[in-house]
Structure formats: C-alpha cells, structure tokens
Chains A and B, each alone.
Chain A
Amino acid sequence: MAVNFVRPIIPKLAKDPWAIQFDSQGHLKHLLTIEGLGPTWITRILDTAEGFMSVTDREIKKVPLLRGRTVVNLFFESSTRTRTTFELAAKRLSADVLNINLSTSATTKGESLLDTLRNIEAMQADMFVVRHDQSGAAHFIARHVAPHVSVLNAGDGWHAHPTQALLDAFTIRRIKGDFAPLRIAIVGDVRHSRVARSQIHAFNSLNVGELRVIGPRTLIPNDIEPLGVRVFHDMRTGLKDVDVIIMLRLQRERMESGLLPTEQEFYRLYGLTEEKLGWAKPDAIVMHPGPANRGVEIESRVADGPQSVILEQVSNGIGVRMAVMALCMSASTE
C-alpha cells in the first residue's frame, strides 16, 4: 500500500533498536538489555564468567585486564548488593573504581542527568555502571556518552537488569546444565520487576523448555505472554514439575497503591513455604535476586534450606560482572 513510505530514522538510532549495544565491528560495547544479545553473546559471557570464577578462588584475586582504567558506579537509586559486586568485579580486574551515589532528588535540584554525565565524563571515566529509577535511563546515557565510554545497565526502572539475569542463567547452567529440558517459574511482582523482564529474555534466548510467571493479576501485566511466558495465578498448578523457582522481591508500596490487600494474604497465596516448595520437582532449586523479604515472599526455612542457591547467586554475580566488564572494555580498546 505504501508508495514512498520510509520508516522514520531517528537521529543517533539505527534501525535495530538494540544495535546501540554493539560497536561498528559488532563487539559488545554497552550492556543495556538482554534483548539483541542472542544465544551467542549470552553463552560467550557465561563462558567468560566461568573462567573468571577461578580468579575468585585464588589467594590473590586479581587479574590486570583493566589496569589503568576507571570504572564509575553511578547509582541514582540506592543499592548495596549490586553496587558492591560491581565494585569487587572491577577491582579484581585491577580497575580504579569510583562510587557516586546520587539520589534522584539531587538531580532534580536543577542539574540534569546529562549535566551530571558530562561532569563525570570530564574525569576521564572509561566505564559507567548505571542504576536509575526510570526505564530507559541506561539507553539514554549510552546514546549521549563520549564514544570511548562503555555503559553497563545495573537496573533501570521496570525495564532491565541484564547482569542479574546473566548471573541467574550462569547459576542455573552450573547446577542444571542444559536449559532445554527445564521448567522455570518466576513468582511474584512481575509487573514492576526489571529482573523478571531480563530473565524472560535471557532464558528464552537460551531455549528454556518452559517459562512460567505466577502471581495475582494485579502483579502480572496483561501483555506479558507475547514475551514468551505462560501465566499462572495459582501456585499449586504453576509450580507443578518446575525445576527452578525464582522468587521476586515484593515492595512495600504495592499495598498502598491497591495492588494487594496485605502482606499476609500475599504470603498465604504466593509466599514460598516448604509446603509449596513440595509442589515443584524434588530437585528444584530456589533463587531470589535479593534482598529477600522473609515472611512476605519467602519463608526463612526455604531461603536458608538445602534447595536454596541464593548465596551462590551472589558469588556468581562477581564472576559474571567481571566477564561483562572485560568483554565490553575489549570492544572499546580495539
């Protein structure tokens, strides 16, 4: 029908919306989202991480890959775990690390995000690790940084948290091996979860057998199925034959905005107790991106139990983040 119809060319954007993650040679330059990485890059990152895990076990836990480079942790939203593991990963690669914590309120005092960025860029940073409370913030920063700077998304709004999904995939691969025969269930507040979105893309890229999300309708978006998941509203049917259970953190403010009546009711229906864990496969593993609300989405005995791999996730996070940093920095040096 279209005669001379031309798709819009948005300045500084290629046709593939995720192409911005790669440099002109096709190397990974920024890690903003799992989308567009495909199985090849995801596997390459996981394999590289496997190599770095031995560094972590050594007495001198350092390799000189990023010596003389500066990594800036730019956190507009508070975080302990993610920031610390990024910091450790950078230090084990021998980079200089600068932590900058800016609550979003500080930037609303007049300085725009772009101004903040320019100021830190002027300090000769080579890599930004960014966390921000708005979806798309990492893309925005990647689009506007100096050409030599790499951007790693450490969580933007409800959109993406790619290193978390990669470390989860890494943990699952180490324990379960191949993804094809696996059933994975993500439980809880999928609507507001950047972790869940990145996990969905990652596990589907790795050809997972079946991916499920479980939660009440208020916490599961209407249009989630096209992303490649099956929706369940009931734990008993949702957890049946599942190999991996991923519990999401439930924010307290969800009660105030009318998405849930009480924590108690959520715990009764969706909280992972020993009883509910019994509905999954006997060798199912339990994961949580942390920090866990014990007694809200997960029972302490499950979180600390034999099937829990929550602490392994944390230590694997360092190796995976080292891998991502090393791969992205190798793109920008070439």
Chain B
Amino acid sequence: MIQNPPNLGIDLDPVRHPDGCRPGIDCDTWRISGARVLDPASGLDQIADLYLAGGKIVGIGAEPAHFPSSAVNTISADGLWLIPGIIDGWARLREPGQEHKATIATETLAAVAGGITTLCMPPDTDPVLDTIAVARFIKRRAQLAGRARVVAIGAMTQGLKGELLAEMAELTEGGCVAITNAHYPLKDLRLLRRALEYAATFDIQVILQPLDPSLSKRGCAHEGVISTRLGLPGIPVSAETAPLAQLLAILPETGARIHINNVSSRAAVRLIEQAKEDGLPITASVSAHHLWLSEMDTDAFCGNAHVLPPLRSLRDRDALREGLANGVIDCVISDHQPHEPDAKLAPFPETEPGISGLETLLPLMLKLVDDGVLTLERALEALTRCPADLFGLTDSGRIEIGARADIALIDPDAFWTLDDSTLHSAGRDTPFFGWDFRHEIQATWVNGKQVFRRGSAP
C-alpha cells in the first residue's frame, strides 16, 4: 500500500475505480464524442468520436464492430481538443531516495493533471538507477499509484560516478528506454568513447547532458550581464559547448545514436544543427522553461529561476525557440524537479536548482502556438511523436487504431491562472505563479482508464 506522506494535502490512494466510470461497466471502455482530434504522427486534425477498449484505441470516427455500444462510458467533448498523451522525456519524481521532496504517487498525479501520460525518469535517484531492481521498484510504485506510466532511464556508469560502465544491456532488457549519466561527468573522454561504443553494440539510445564540471564549478547563473551585476558566480556558454564539441568529435567513431538533453544556448543549437547536416545520429531536447525565461528572470535573486543548465540570454532563448520550430531541436521536456519549500529558502547560490514543471509543460507550449512561435502541429509533435520515436515507444504518442489509449482532453479556451491551488505537484517551486494560460487539461486517460478529470476529487 502507498503511504500518504504528511502535509501534502493530496489524497494519494491509488485509483482502482476511476472517476467517471459507470458501475458495472469496464473502466477502459469509452466513447469520447465530438472533440477535435489532433495527432501529428498521423496528420489527423478533424472532429471525430474516439473509441477506447482494452487499453487501446479501437475506433476513430466510425464505431468499431463488436463495440459494446450500450455498455460504455461516454463523454461529450464538443469544443474540446483530444491529443495523444504527452511523453515527458526527463522528469525527476524523487522516489526512491528523496521522498521528502515528492513521491511517484504525487508526481504521477501532477503529470496526468498536465496531460502527461508517460514520464521518463532519469537515474539520479538514491539508490542510483543502475540495477534492474531499482527499475522494477519504480515501475511497481507507478503501477500502485495508478496514474501515469513511468519508464526508467538507466545509468550509464555505476553509481553515476563516471568510472565504471553500468550493465546497460541488462538495464534496457529490463525495460529502461535509454541510458544516461545525467549531468554527472565522466572520468575522461576514453570512458565516454567506450560507453558510446558499448551502447551502440546493443542499439541503446544514449542521452547526454553536456556540462563541463570545471567551467561550471560553483556557478549558479548564466555568465552574462545579470550575473555580473548581481555578483553571482557564472556558468559560461562554453561549459555546454566545449563538451558538446568533444562529443561530436567522438561520436562518428562509435556508431552510437545520442540525444542531447536540455540544450540551453544558441551556440549549442548551432553545433547540433551542423551535426545534423553532417548526418550524425543526433537528436536534442529543450525544457519548456528555457523557451520562456531568460537570465532576466534571475534578477532580484529569484530562487525559483535557479535551474541547471542556467537560464541564458534572451538571444539564447530566441535561438532555442527557432531551433525547436525548424526541427533542430526535436523534443520538449519538463525537466521536472520538485523541491520541498526549504530547498528554495536560502540565498540564491545556496538554493537547489530546478523547477516543478509537469503542469506547465503543455500550457507553455500551447502559449508559444498562440504567440505564433510554433505551429500547433509542431508543438504537439515535440511532446508526443518525437519523444515516442526517441525512446522506441512506438505504440504511444499517437492516435491510431491499435495504439495505447493514452490521451488527453484539452479545453482550448479555459483561461486560467497558475497559483498554489491549481498545482498538484508536491513541488511548489515554479517561477510561473501568476502567469495566465488559455489551454487547460480537462481529462486524461492512461491505458484506456480515465486517471484524471478536472474538478473531481483526485
């Protein structure tokens, strides 16, 4: 049984009989009628009824044969949008090891409240996710919570110490969708090369976060005008680009495919663009907050804007937006890092980096669409099809007959303001308090079951 962590104000009992499910009817049999169905993977954009059964999408538009018409849960969704559930490629759930910050139960609820149906969890847990046992534990906890699916990203080196390779093959056989060393450094370039070669042997997706430990040492903000004025130790752009350039030099000799996580600078976007032009097997992601915030937001020592990699200049932010629009950057992640309040109650350099980002991921992306930065198709693709392809989740991130019934229903004209009462995550560390959004997630289905419905008790 899940223990309720104290003082979270959220009922964490696993959902066995999800809300909206009529008695005597299978909870995974649904007709959702009248919504605008949007799916970048299939190019779908039309008003259609959607039919779910047995955890799969069984009909789009026409009612499938043998569908138990009289015994289904129905929902009328006129005026709403139906999209594939979001796959968040990088979200920390803090369990195991840091349950005082958040748990898988609290964060999977926050995820489905944000339209996210699959969470990819990096391995910097305690114990480190470098054995299959930890991966199984996480999967089990997510199943017990009964909300979003959680998939693990395994450690590249034992204990993430950057010295000895982890058992990558076993980790991926056990369900890890990729391997990474997060932002922890590797001992030397030789180990990086060996790790890439070994991963390539088994065609394992490698995720890398370029951050040079010596250039970023003690740094807590982008090295630029604002950090100079505030006297904050800076992290220069070269802390990202220098290791990235080394990596790109090594990559062709290894046969590996790599994904650059959480790109933060214009110069890095250019390096990735060049590498893609050269035909290297490389993809990239950016966090939603890097698309909206800049070093300006760290002004007045706002601890909630302390993130790693740091928020950089407006010029960098605009280059990230452009790179996402033209496909140099493939995916958008939440880079979710829930913290207890104390983690941010300190002078800026002593605050822990990170933003609680699950529930603003989709709203921030759709705000970019409203502002004309992205097309609706590109915004949704970066959250659904692209991460699905990256992690080999081929039955997810799309609305097709036979695909997993992971979907989200959005009210495109809700107009709401982010405040303490609208947030579900245990982490209240967001710089977006007080922001106005237009799009609101109304309901979310995972594996055919309705796991979230706005307005009903969680």
Q: Shortest Cβ distance from B111 into chain A, in angstroms?
A: 23
| Segment 88-140 of A: residues with Cβ below 8 Å from B | 112-114, 132, 134-137, 139-140
What CA separation (Å) do A20 and B436 show in the bound complex?
25
Number of inter-chain CB pairs below 8 Å:
103
Decide if A114 touches B349 in the complex (CB within 8 Å).
no
- A112–B340 Cα distance when bound, in Å, is 14
Q: Flag whether A180 is at the interface (Cβ < 8 A).
A: no
Q: How large is the interface on A (under 10, 10 to 19, 20 to 34, 35 or more residues)?
A: 35 or more
- Residues of B within 8 Å of A291, CB to CB, are none
B348 interface neighbour in A3, A134, A221, Cβ under 8 Å? A134
Known A4-B370, A5-B371, A159-B231: A139·B300 in contact at CB below 8 Å: yes
- The chain A residue with its CB closest to the CB of B217 is A257
Chain B residues whose CB sits within 8 angstroms of the CB of A26 once the complex forms: none
Bound state CA distance, A158 and B415, in angstroms?
42
Contact among B301, B367, B432 with A139 in the assembled complex (CB-CB below 8 Å): B301
Residue of B231, B299, B300, B367 near A158 (CB, 8 A) is B231
A175 CB-CB contact with B under 8 Å: no
Q: Cα distance A157–B227 when bound, in Å?
A: 12
Assess whether B224 is in contact with A223, with CB atoms less than 8 Å apart: yes
Instruction: State how many angstroms separate the Cβ of B33 from the closest Cβ of chain A.
Output: 30
Set B231, B299, B438: member contacting A157, Cβ < 8 A: B231
Tell me whether A3 and B371 are in contact (CB under 8 A): yes
User: Are A112 and B302 in contact, CB atoms less than 8 angstroms apart?
Assistant: no
The verdict on A64 contacting chain B, using a C-beta distance below 8 Å, is no
Chain A, range 137-168, C-beta contacts under 8 Å to B: 137, 139-140, 144, 156-160
B235 CB to nearest A CB, Å = 13
Instruction: Give bound CA distance, A139 to B233, whole Å.
Output: 17
B137 in the interface (beta carbon within 8 A)? no
Number of interface residues of B (CB under 8 A): 36
Residue A183, interface by CB 8 Å: no
Is B349 within 8 A of A135, CB to CB? yes
A4 in complex: contacting residue of B224, B231, B300, B436, CB < 8 Å:
B436
Considering the complex, give the chain B residue whose CB is closest to the CB of A135.
Answer: B231
Provide the bound-state CA to CA distance between A132 and B342, in Å.
19
Of the listed stretches A9-17, A237-245, A247-255, A281-289, name the one at the interface; the rest are far from the partner chain: A9-17
Assess whether B202 is interfacial by the CB under 8 Å rule. Answer: no
B438 and A136: CB pair below 8 A?
A: no
Q: Decide if B345 is an interface residue (CB 8 Å cutoff).
A: yes
Contact with B along A1-37 (1 / 0, CB 8 A): 1111110111101000110100000000000000000
A112→B349 contact, CB < 8 A: no
Report the bound CA distance from A144 to B346 in whole Å. 10
Among candidates B225, B345, B348, B434, residue contacting A223 with C-beta atoms closer than 8 Å: B225
19 contacts between A and B (CB under 8 A): A4-B415, A4-B436, A5-B367, A112-B342, A112-B346, A114-B345, A134-B346, A135-B347, A135-B348, A136-B232, A136-B301, A136-B347, A136-B348, A140-B346, A140-B347, A144-B345, A157-B349, A223-B223, A223-B224
Chain A positions near chain B (C-beta within 8 angstroms): 1-6, 8-11, 13, 17-18, 20, 112-114, 132, 134-137, 139-140, 144, 156-160, 194, 197, 221-224, 226-227
